[in-house]
Chain A
Amino acid sequence: MSTNPSNESGARREPPAGERVADWADGRLGIYSLAKANMRKIFPDHWSFMLGEVCMYSFIIIILTGVYLTLFFHPSMNEVVYDGSYVPLQGQLMSEAFNSTMHISFEVRGGLLIRQIHHWAALIFLAGMFVHMMRVFFTGAFRKPREVNWLFGFLLFVLGMFTGFTGYSLPDDLLSGTGVRFMEGAILSVPIVGTYISMFLYGGEFPGHDFVARFYSIHILLLPGIMLGLMVAHLILVFYHKHTQFAGPGKTNNNVVGMPLLPVYMAKAGGFFFLVFGVIAAIAAIASINPIWGIGPYRADQVSTGAQPDWYMGFAEGLIRVMPGWEINLWGHTLVLGVFIPLVIFPLVLAAIAVYPFIESWVTGDKREHHILDRPRNAPTRTAFGVAWLTAYLVMLVGGGNDLWATHFHLSINAITWFVRITFFVGPVLAFIITKRICLGLQRRDRDKVLHGRESGIIKRLPHGEFIEVHEPLSQEQLHTLTAHEQYQPAEIGPLVDENGVERKLKGSQKLRAKLSTAYFGEENQIPKPTAEEYKEITSGHGHH
């Protein structure tokens, strides 16, 4: 490895210091074997493959800044009188949690910056995970062998939401306290055990004296600990499976084309960490986040309009806001459907996207490994499902901010609520249909491009006066790229009678699968890609236009 000339000239000379350290480590950790497999590992280049890195780096930034914040934060709900430097709060009663957050923001040098980096990084972490998840979804990167890693990623997103929520609650300010109060109401709506869970969580009645300390250990230890483990596992699997790639010349299901970890990706990925940190630090310098001094300390009898959670909980907030107030009283008990139904829909909607890979693999019956990514258009049903899911999600985000829509667009809050109620059901259906049609249209265009060439924009006049646009044939690279995707045939149930003439019993699941398979891959649901024969027939003989 070493190109040190002294090493080559005299074998008896001592190897350089770096090599000796490496030797020492190898004798104990086996690092050479590890490096042999990984040092020149190939990573493909695509901007969307760096979304996961955005998440990982913002997570690291969150941990670094979070550790700093713990040095100053007091997770206590003891009431103290504020006497810090922010005049409009002087003399006010507040919890020590709020007081210490004020101290971090106003008296600790750089404390405000670290607080803002921490919070901005958290919002970006969640946004990054969301986009990363969508990238994986729409390109079909979740297929075998990556289903487990998809679930790890999904869990990271969900845990990230709750880590974020507990962190948002720690300063014990009027905004987050309202969110914690909402959480109490939501827990109380759980049939039978709701009141018990609430009493156990808050150490008695809301707000009690315990929740900040309890959320603190959940926020800084329990959830991030699990997330760190999951993230390491996620990364190990990425290394182990090797990265997926888009179809292209020289890129097959059996290789991965790109540049080696050492040196290119070491520099690019390592550099990207600093780029992410730099951007977030600059954002924290110019934009304020969660200015608790303006929000004020929590009081159970005070509230402000515009009471919203951070964006990643906005979807749940929307569900809660637009649900009709159903409540059933029977046999001396209350079923609080108005709160409990959204509480159940929330995990169900998330689960819908999480289990999708397993549904798709059941429908296709495909047991092979997939390392070539799909272009979203080439999997119209999956893409349409994803867009429908996103539509439901976005509609609920709108619902979660209905009051701000009302004030900023001069609308009636009641009208927006009704709009969201209806669109939550209608929107995804429309989105599904439209997306599928767009995908099929794009498939047709690809097909035309392969068969008839690229529109060159050059208009030619034929001897008999007709104007035509000259189409240029595609290169072999382009032809290959546009036809590299695979197309499934719909699964058939097979003969209804077996070879002995006995009627086969068909399970409902088999029939359902055949139906779904037709919906995915039937005649109307994908455009057959051009075959070599079609191509030859068109390209041979007459000039094409």
Chain B
Amino acid sequence: MKKLSARRRHPLAAVVVLLLALAATGGLYAAFAPASKAQADETAQSLAIEEGKKLYQVGCASCHGTGGQGSSDGPSLVGVGAAAVDFQVGTGRMPAATSQGAQVPRKKTIYTQAEIDQLAAFVASLGAGPAVPTTNEYSPEGADLGRGGELFRQNCAQCHNFTGKGGALTHGKFAPTLEGVSPKHLYEAMQTGPQNMPSFPDTTLSSENKKDIIAYLDAVNSDETKNPGGLELGGLGPVSEGLFAWIFGLGALIAVAVWVAARTAKAKKS
């Protein structure tokens, strides 16, 4: 029963409740919504919405309803904002497979960024919600790494591990690894709280805070990350270290011991 209802609420319920909160509190996000920009480029914008609507009807409407009102297979998208769409579609989570396990995993993106922008524009037109952040907001440049680390350990590490390697949640759900997630998507995930992840809106985790966190992750969890000690063994802590010590440490030593104790070959083979 629980599973069924959880699936039914998949995967954008987070953004739905977020919308209600925003409606109740007077829409702080309005300040961030690029209203002026939209007006300045109104024709291009409405064109994008038009294109997005077509894409939406083909790829999304079967679950989220033709008007984004939601159905038993997918939550309402009214008010989830462009950021949620950009994250969900941009990380390949949406469109979801027809039958999912405990949660919708990240997979190969099937839309181009241009198409995603059009989809986002369409969904944003259904109701006000957080906009896609600008490069300025999420770019790790000039951020405070130390502060970012502290904020990460305060807000994120409990699910995503010390350096964002991911971890387990209840009943097969999991916090995914943050390796290779783009700064923009990190920002959007914090902003919108996809699936079971809680959201960290700007009112409680400021834009500056998010930037610090992104910068920290960029420093400790990327291809360029320095692991002075050598192999990081998955960054999973003592379990992988213990396995390594048993297999390669004690294993090697036993192999050496076998050599030390073995009889030397005899001249005459019997």
Contacts and interface: CB of A to CB of B under 8 A. Distances in A.
Direct contact between the two chains A and B in their complex (CB within 8 A): yes
Contact of A407 (B167, B171, B244, B249): B167
B122 interface: no
A91 B146 contact: yes
Given A50-B257, A414-B171, A302 B249 contact: no
A2 interface: no
Contact of B239 (A314, A412, A413): A314
Interface in A268-317: 268, 271-272, 275-276, 279-280, 283-291, 294-296, 299, 301-311, 314
A82 B147 CA distance: 12
B260 A47 contact: yes
Interface in B162-198: 162-163, 165-172, 174-175
Main secondary structure on chain A at its contact with chain B?
helix
Contacts of A174: 153, 157, 162
Contacts of A49: 261
A54 B145 contact: no
Interface stretch (B19-27, B53-61, B84-92, B227-235): B227-235
A124 B249 contact: yes
Interface residues of A, number: 73
Interface string B70-81: 000000000000
Given A90-B145, A311-B245, A305 B238 contact: no
Interface residues of B, number: 63
Nearest to B219: A88
A362 B256 CA distance: 38
Contact of A305 (B161, B232, B250): B161
Given A49-B261, A410-B172, A124 B242 contact: no
Given A280-B249, A311-B239, A302 B262 contact: no
Nearest to A298: B153
A30 B9 CA distance: 85
A89 B146 contact: yes
Contacts of A120: 245, 249
B146 A92 contact: yes
Contact of A286 (B159, B171, B230, B262): B230
Given A47-B262, A414-B170, A299 B144 contact: no
A517 B253 CA distance: 39
Nearest to B232: A288
A63 interface: no
Contacts of B239: 306, 308, 311, 314, 400-401, 404
A314 B244 CA distance: 15
A76 interface: no
A367 interface: no
Given A305-B158, A407-B166, A124 B149 contact: no
Pick from A128, A289, A402, A406 the residue with the most CB of B within 10 Å.
A289
B42 interface: no
B148 A88 contact: yes
A410 to B, nearest CB: 7
A112 interface: yes
A421 B171 CA distance: 16
B228 A305 contact: no
A90 B146 contact: yes
Contacts of A82: 146
Contacts of A54: 250, 253-254, 257
A49 B260 CA distance: 11
Nearest to A288: B229
Interface string A405-437: 011001111110000000000000000000000
B241 interface: yes
B166 A92 contact: no
A398 to B, nearest CB: 11
Nearest to A285: B230
Interface in B79-109: 101-102
B91 to A, nearest CB: 18
B106 to A, nearest CB: 14
B237 interface: yes
Contacts of B241: 123, 289-290, 310-311
Contacts of B168: 305, 402-404, 406-407, 413
B112 to A, nearest CB: 30
Contacts of A346: none
A267 to B, nearest CB: 10
B260 A271 contact: yes
A241 to B, nearest CB: 20
Interface in B204-225: 216, 219-220
A87 to B, nearest CB: 5
B178 to A, nearest CB: 12
A410 B100 CA distance: 13
B216 A88 contact: yes
Contacts of A296: 149-150, 153, 157, 162
A294 B253 contact: no
Contact of B257 (A272, A291, A303, A306): A272
A289 B248 CA distance: 14
B107 to A, nearest CB: 14
A303 B228 contact: no
B253 A279 contact: yes
A391 B239 CA distance: 18
A406 B158 contact: no
A443 interface: no
A71 B188 CA distance: 47
A51 interface: yes
A404 B258 contact: no
A131 interface: yes
Interface in A165-220: 174-175
A87 B161 contact: no
Contacts of A50: 257, 260-261
Nearest to A308: B238
Contacts of B171: 412-414
A294 B163 contact: yes
A116 B148 CA distance: 27
B220 A294 contact: yes
B252 interface: yes
14 contacts: A48-B257, A91-B147, A92-B149, A279-B252, A279-B256, A290-B238, A291-B229, A291-B235, A294-B235, A295-B237, A296-B157, A306-B236, A404-B236, A406-B174
Given A51-B254, A272-B257, A308-B238, 11 more contacts: A54-B254, A90-B145, A124-B253, A131-B250, A288-B230, A289-B241, A290-B238, A301-B154, A305-B161, A307-B237, A406-B168
Interface of A: 45-51, 53-54, 82, 87-92, 105-106, 112, 116, 120, 123-124, 127-128, 131, 174-175, 268, 271-272, 275-276, 279-280, 283-291, 294-296, 299, 301-311, 314, 400-404, 406-407, 410-415
